Amino acid sequence: MAVASLQNTSLSSLAAQTTVLRFTGFLPLYAYHSPTVQRPRRNLSTYLSTMVAICLITGTIYPITTNFMRAVYVLAFPSVQIDTNTAGLVLLMEKIPYGLISLRAFLVLILFFRKRNTFSTLALDMSMCLPSNRGFAERITVLCSWVGLLVTALFPVAWECFSVLQILITSRNTTLLSRDAYEPLPIPVVFWHHQLSVFLLRCIPFILSQQVYLTAMVLAWMASSELKRIARDIAWETAQYTGLNWC
């Protein structure tokens, strides 16, 4: 019970991020072997959540690969045209940021997944250093955690929806049932199938990678605040001790 209370002290301020990361398998679902959960259920839940994390990590390879294939094709055939309006090289420049977004999500998630047990240890160590009751500051941090989750989740989703609408409005030959999602590649893929896979395998991993960044930022802020408080206390005690010696 003491271990659990220590864990809750440091992670209560990261409720939004740790909840999402646990249910997607990037953190242990039942950390520190919770005595309230039976071992078979805990093992099964851990296995399933870990499989979800592995699927998300490997899934990011799909948008990376498709963008890489488009880049190679355009470089091999630089005169290719899209809808008789857009040059292939222009399309290449448009797709580079999307490939980098997927690559960033892949690298962040795979590194965090490898170090997830280290993160749990770090959270426990921080629990031993932080005060047990942070009051108003903790409530503000929890609020910022949930707001950060909403902002980092809504903006990528809104961006993906806007991109799809822009394609459907500006492209005269593209509809949800069009089989030109891989243009300029000569591979027939239904547009809405491709967009659904992109949302699941690019947008969601990107959102999760943002939660990893927010987790690191909040932990760093908590550690910095506590170190500053300790420094102030030491300075005050030193001043008090020096004043007593002068008297």
- What are the domain boundaries of the chain? 12-116+134-218
**Exposed / middle / buried, residue 167 (Cβ in 10 Å: 0-12, 13-18, 19+):** middle
Quick one: average pLDDT of 218-227? 78
- Cα(47)–Cα(41) distance, integer angstroms: 10
Task: Supply 154's token pair.
Answer: 């809504």
Orientation angle between helical segments 88-114 and 39-59, nearest 10 degrees: 160
Task: Supply 32's token pair.
Answer: 């520190």
pLDDT at 10 over 70: no
The SS3 call for residue 206 is helix
Task: Supply 229's token pair.
Answer: 């408080």
The highest-confidence range among 93-97, 132-136, 161-165, by mean pLDDT, is: 161-165
Per-residue model confidence (pLDDT) at position 31: 54
- Cα(93)–Cα(100) distance, integer angstroms: 12
Quick one: average pLDDT of 138-158? 86
Q: How far is CA 226 from CA 5, 63, 129, 152, in A?
A: 19, 41, 8, 27
CB neighbour list of residue 121: distance below 8 Å, 6 or more residues apart: none
Orientation angle between helical segments 88-114 and 61-76, nearest 10 degrees: 150
**Exposed / middle / buried, residue 112 (Cβ in 10 Å: 0-12, 13-18, 19+):** buried
Orientation angle between helical segments 204-246 and 15-23, nearest 10 degrees: 140
Per-residue model confidence (pLDDT) at position 7: 44
User: Of 188, 29, 218, 194, which is closest to residue 98 (Cα–Cα)?
Assistant: 194
Q: Considering the entire predicted model, what is its pTM?
A: 0.80
Per-residue model confidence (pLDDT) at position 245: 59
pLDDT at 137 over 70: no
More confident residue, 70 or 211: 211
